[in-house]
Amino acid sequence: MSFIENLSGLQAQKIRLLMHLRRRGITCSRTLEAIETIPREIFIPSTFQHQSYEDMALPIGLGQTISQPLVVATMTQALALTDRHKVLEIGTGSGYQAAILSRLCRRLYTIERHKPLLNQAEDRFSEMRLRNITAMNGDGMKGWAYQAPFDRIIVTAAAHGDIPNELMAQLAIGGIMIAPIGASDVDQTLVKIRRVSEGHYERESLFAVRFVPLLPEIAEETRDIDPEFNQMNAFA
């Protein structure tokens, strides 16, 4: 019996996932360490926890998803983070991507338009004692002007056509933005944007992705997260 086979449940699955990410081009040791450190299972509804370390997106309620680990790892690696960077995340969702980023940057600001998801994510941040995250219920298309500029910006919802100018303007000169862009959920590309000067941005297309759309304003919730999506897990 191999070493991995001797390990129990989620621990063995996590090791397999890390090996898979390395094979798929994730070479940044800090990114891999963050993924190894952050327990993805506490960000996933109990119904799907047996799939926590499969390389797939999973539903988290209110029509939203937690991105597949390869996409999380690729976006994180592409940001080229250091512990001096101030980062803006658009789309907190479950809080998993934010938790990964918090291990790699100085300060993370994250915006979520769905208040129930934000509340749940903030509870997880508190449980995990992630003190360098500041979260807000707001319109991600407008960014967080009061805290701008940001060294890095990551957008976890797909912009229709292009990134809003108001958000682009909040990227520091020399800064990097990673965002999906596409007119539909089947025609999206992950793009790396570097701000070279005041009015000049360089772009690099990374690969095809599928994200929920980037929408304006704060969501008007007609219901809370379904009970099966609202079960918190104690963090040990």
- Which positions are annotated as active-site residues? 67
Q: How far is CA 221 from CA 111, 112, 204, 234, in A?
A: 16, 13, 36, 26
Q: Are the C-beta atoms of residues 85 and 151 closer than 8 Å to each other?
A: yes
**CB contact burial 88-124 (16+ within 10 A = b; e otherwise):** bbbbbbbbbbbbbbbbbbebbbbbbbbebbbebbbeb
Q: CA-to-CA distance for 144 and 166, rounded, in angstroms? A: 9
Q: Report d(CA 102, CA 99) in Å as an integer.
A: 5
Does residue 69 have a cis bond before it (omega within 30 degrees)?
no
What is the DSSP secondary structure assignment for residue 211, as one 8-state letter?
Answer: -
**Tokens (6 digits) for 17:** 């996932």
Between β-strands 64-66 and 58-61, what pairing exists: parallel, antiparallel or unpaired?
A: antiparallel
139: left (phi over 0), alpha (psi -120 to 50) or beta: beta
